[in-house]
Structure 1
Amino acid sequence: MANFTTIKTSFCAFLLSVSCTGTLLGQANTFAPNGSLQQAGLDSVLIYQSVDSIMQTSIQAQAFPGANLLVVKNGKTIFHKAYGYHTYDSLVPVGRNDVYDLASVTKITGPLPALMKLHGEGKLDLDAPFSNYWKPWKKRKDKKELTFREVLAHQAGLTPYIIFLNEAMRKGALKKRWFSTTPKKGYVQVYTDLYIKNQFRNKVYRMVNRSKVSVEKKYKYSGLTFLLYPEIIENLTGSDYEAYLQHEFYGPLGMETFGFNPKSKGIKAPIVPTEVDTLFRHDLTHEWVHDENAALLGGVSGNAGLFGSASDLAKLMQLYVQMGESKGKRYIAESTLKEFTRIQYPENENRRGLGFDKPLIGNDTLSIAKAYPAPKASPESFGHAGFTGTFVWADPKNQLVFIFLSNRVYPSRGHRELYNLNVRGALQQLFYE
């Protein structure tokens, strides 16, 4: 733990006129975990003081109004504490069981476990053309030969992102041909008193199908196909995407807060708000998905849309650490998880696994300021980050799960201190040091 002084000093250097000492902001919400820091070989006093200090300075710097941090070691929760408030008005303190908009963490907790299960069952060939599973690409010269492996590893040269909201609005107003303020047949709800025509989904698909592909095949992150995976999964399973995930994973694992559109699920746990939307909802986005593309699909997507608590998220991440098995039940084939979580194209300087993010190549040689994630995360580790301020990471070699949930986009996505201060890397490195 001697290196923490260096970590803390470098972290504090980012903060202007903010001290790394003092009392905690808000009501700290902690509990007695089922494991202990001492059993994990960690100095509990130093860990709590250090984490508290980093969290406090981050909140003061407005990196986020509040956050949840949960760490699992050897299958036992050794740290779980909540900090700050839902918003900067300090009215609602963050609780350990609060539910967050997971943003892009959805990618590895929604479609990916389903795709891995299907691969293990022999229903999905990673080296077959993606067009075998998404038929419209058969007619696209630039896409018909792209393999599922290339697509999942972000090695296919696909367009990174499309703002579909531009197709749903004109001069800052929602197009009446797509939206209704009252429930109607053939419409799906996207927000309070706002509904979109189901046919808009077909427009999304057409735009993805027609999107450009780079001639040069190199690492380029693209979330477009994650909009397609729910329908691909439904075609392969014959089951509704949401229902399949609930039946195969969330239900059996006891993930009670996990799911899409929590507003309609009657979840009792408090839901943390995200951004004050100035684009089309013109309201504080609360209990509805933050991501505009997922919202236009009715909140159920593969790129974003999942909500859940840190504790429930830990159950799925621990399943990954245990290579697809939990409490004697096999959910995903071990060989499949090993394949999905290894770097696919290192020769192209592409660090990605299949759907999963991985440490930078040579990460262990980098300083904490340049590393991603923490320098001491093993090369076998994997995870994903989310735009709203979420981050999950699993390390099978060290039997460690690290979960950080925040709403850094409150009140606007311009708040980037979470990245500038490298808060998550500093916190994660603590538990390795």
Structure 2
Amino acid sequence: MSSAFPAGPGSPGEIVADAVTRGVIPGAVLRYGRGAAGRVRGGEFGDGVSAGLRYDLASLTKVTATLPLVLRLVAEGEVGLDDAVVRYLPRFGELDDVKRRVTVRELLAHSSGLPAVREVWRLAGTAEDRFAAVLAEPLEAAPGTVVRYSDLGFILLGRIVADVIGQPLDVAFNELVAAPLGMTSTGYRPDAAVRVAATEANWVDDPGREDPKAGVVHDENAESLGGVAGHAGLFGTADDLASYLRGGWLAQDSPILDAGVRAEALRNQTPGLGGVRGLGWTLRGDSFDFMSDGWPLSGAAHSGFTGTSLAFDPESGVWCVLLTNAVLFGRENRTRELRRVLHAAVAAEFGITLLSRPDGGGGVDSISSRITA
């Protein structure tokens, strides 16, 4: 099996089909297009893969559930981006004055100084005990000084959403994000009767089990928090995520997002901090950027550890959803180069040409792309 992808021509569907044939990924569902109302393109690839197959979305949960809910609260004046986290979670800074300075904006932009992860699933006790461990986690850097991608920050944001709205995070997502966009096949904790792509042949957190892991969130921390968390836990279909990008981020009048906060989310929040992050989203030029040199410089994206990804560009309207269960073949990153080649092909299909690179590494403040077809 080779994970190298040729740089030559190929349609988006051919690229994904080739990845399945060569054993890079077990299967995939691809959706892409341009604009909020344009034709949806794509296909299903691999044995047993159908349009209705649900995938563990992993960290796409951050930008599909937690982010739009936080932005809704910001637009309604219920939460301030520059409010200290301790305003909503007082225990977060009770033993550390520096932590008391961390803001909601910094959690969203991964510049809070929190570490990437802590394996709270290994701790004995209840889900609340594990959340308390997240609250108590010390910073690795001063707030607002460096970009450090953090699951812990989004676990905290998920709790802020639940506390402010007064509903569990999964209920808030269902009512305020999924329902308005018609996302009928996306949510937390799928029913046992639903077809879900397996993510592991063996359970890391339950070595005695021999059945494939499917329908239970792959992220052990999310599972240990009850299967509902701000950083991971969603399962869904490519068609639903296409609806999310089109209706949430590309529609002129989104039913779930205020235009002002949507624009703020796509602005570079971290200049000079070693990364190019919006609110939630990865922007062009960030170390996590997989959008390819051919993708518009105003683009935004996010990936999930299981092998999932979203990318879109608010200026040209081009977008792409790729759902795979790559982790079934192992936990090493198997999809980064696939994503880069795929996104270059999607951009090329719509005739997007880059004219120059932005100063400052991306974001909507420095757009330089042209639609030629």
Residue 427 of structure 1, CA deviation:
1.1
Query: Could you tell me how far apart the structure 1 residues matched to 2:128 and 2:157 are?
Result: 13
Residue 339 of structure 1, CA deviation:
0.4
Quote the residue 1:188 is aligned against.
none
1:244 paired to 2:169? no
1:432 paired to 2:347? yes
Q: Deviations over 1:3-46 (max 9, x none)?
A: xxxxxxx8238xxxxxx9xxxxxxxxxxxxxxxxxxxxxxxxx8
What secondary structure is seen at the aligned counterpart in 1 of 2:173? helix
Quote the residue 1:108 is aligned against.
63
1:142 paired to 2:102? no
Q: Call closer, same or farther: CA 1:201–1:276 in 2, change over 3 Å.
A: farther
Quote the residue 1:350 is aligned against.
275
Kindly indicate whether the alpha-carbon contact (under 8 Å) linking 1:120 and 1:333 is maintained by their aligned counterparts in 2.
yes
1:390 paired to 2:317? no
In the TM superposition, 1:168-207 aligns within 5 A as 168=124, 178=125, 199-207=126-134
Q: Deviations over 1:283-319 (max 9, x none)?
A: 4111111110011011111111101100011111112
Quote the residue 1:418 is aligned against.
335
Q: Gapped runs of 5+ residues in structure 1?
A: 1-9, 14-19, 21-45, 86-92, 169-177, 179-198, 364-369
Kindly indicate whether the alpha-carbon contact (under 8 Å) linking 1:143 and 1:213 is maintained by their aligned counterparts in 2.
no
What secondary structure is seen at the aligned counterpart in 2 of 1:276? coil
Amino acid at match of 2:170: E
Query: Could you tell me how far apart the structure 2 residues matched to 1:324 and 1:298 are?
Result: 36
Amino acid at match of 1:154: H
Quote the residue 1:83 is aligned against.
45
Amino acid at match of 1:417: R
Judge which range, 200-209 or 282-291, deviates more: 200-209
Quote the residue 1:4 is aligned against.
none
Quote the residue 1:222 is aligned against.
150
Quote the residue 1:315 is aligned against.
243
What TM-score do you get using the length of structure 1 for normalisation?
0.73
Residue 96 of structure 1, CA deviation:
1.9
Q: Deviations over 1:33-85 (max 9, x none)?
A: xxxxxxxxxxxxx8xx6334422432243211111110021222341201112
Residue 204 of structure 1, CA deviation:
2.9
Judge which range, 103-112 or 231-240, deviates more: 231-240
1:165 paired to 2:121? yes
Quote the residue 2:73 is aligned against.
118
Quote the residue 1:379 is aligned against.
297
Give the fraction of aligned pairs with identical amino acids, expressed as a percent.
28
Q: Deviations over 1:377-414 (max 9, x none)?
A: 22322121000000001211111120001010014314
Amino acid at match of 1:331: I
1:335 paired to 2:260? yes
Amino acid at match of 1:381: G
1:284 paired to 2:212? yes
Q: Deviations over 1:408-433 (max 9, x none)?
A: 0014314x3323xx111111111212
The count of corresponding residues between Structure 1 and Structure 2 is 339
Query: Could you tell me how far apart the structure 2 residues matched to 1:55 and 1:253 are?
Result: 27
Amino acid at match of 2:271: P
Query: Could you tell me how far apart the structure 1 residues matched to 2:252 and 2:114 are?
Result: 30
Quote the residue 2:317 is aligned against.
399
Quote the residue 1:171 is aligned against.
none
Query: Could you tell me how far apart the structure 1 residues matched to 2:246 and 2:146 are?
Result: 31
Query: Could you tell me how far apart the structure 1 residues matched to 2:23 and 2:309 are?
Result: 18
Judge which range, 110-119 or 124-133, deviates more: 124-133
Query: Could you tell me how far apart the structure 1 residues matched to 2:50 and 2:345 are?
Result: 22
Equivalent residue for 1:212, pick from 128, 131, 139 = 139
Instruction: State the Cα RMSD in Å.
Output: 2.3
Q: Deviations over 1:99-152 (max 9, x none)?
A: 111000000011111000000011111112111111112412230011211221
Kindly indicate whether the alpha-carbon contact (under 8 Å) linking 1:318 and 1:394 is maintained by their aligned counterparts in 2.
no
Query: Could you tell me how far apart the structure 1 residues matched to 2:203 and 2:262 are?
Result: 40
Amino acid at match of 1:95: S
Residue 324 of structure 1, CA deviation:
7.0
Quote the residue 2:360 is aligned against.
none
Residue 231 of structure 1, CA deviation:
2.3
What TM-score do you get using the length of structure 2 for normalisation?
0.84
Q: Call closer, same or farther: CA 1:234–1:317 in 2, change over 3 Å.
A: same
Amino acid at match of 1:120: A
Q: Call closer, same or farther: CA 1:65–1:277 in 2, change over 3 Å.
A: same
Amino acid at match of 2:133: R
Query: Could you tell me how far apart the structure 1 residues matched to 2:292 and 2:164 are?
Result: 37
1:12 paired to 2:3? no
Kindly indicate whether the alpha-carbon contact (under 8 Å) linking 2:120 and 2:221 is maintained by their aligned counterparts in 1.
yes
Kindly indicate whether the alpha-carbon contact (under 8 Å) linking 2:107 and 2:157 is maintained by their aligned counterparts in 1.
no
Which of the two has higher C-alpha Rg? 1
Quote the residue 2:371 is aligned against.
none
Query: Could you tell me how far apart the structure 2 residues matched to 1:134 and 1:242 are?
Result: 19
Q: Call closer, same or farther: CA 1:349–1:206 in 2, change over 3 Å.
A: closer
1:50 paired to 2:4? no
Q: Deviations over 1:145-193 (max 9, x none)?
A: 112112211112111100123224xxxxxxxxx5xxxxxxxxxxxxxxx
Residue 97 of structure 1, CA deviation:
2.1
Q: Deviations over 1:338-389 (max 9, x none)?
A: 001111122223201111111116x9xxxxxx96312132232212100000
Q: Call closer, same or farther: CA 1:347–1:411 in 2, change over 3 Å.
A: closer
Query: Could you tell me how far apart the structure 1 residues matched to 2:58 and 2:72 are?
Result: 22
Query: Could you tell me how far apart the structure 1 residues matched to 2:70 and 2:52 are?
Result: 28
Quote the residue 1:36 is aligned against.
none
1:151 paired to 2:102? no
Q: Call closer, same or farther: CA 1:371–1:274 in 2, change over 3 Å.
A: closer
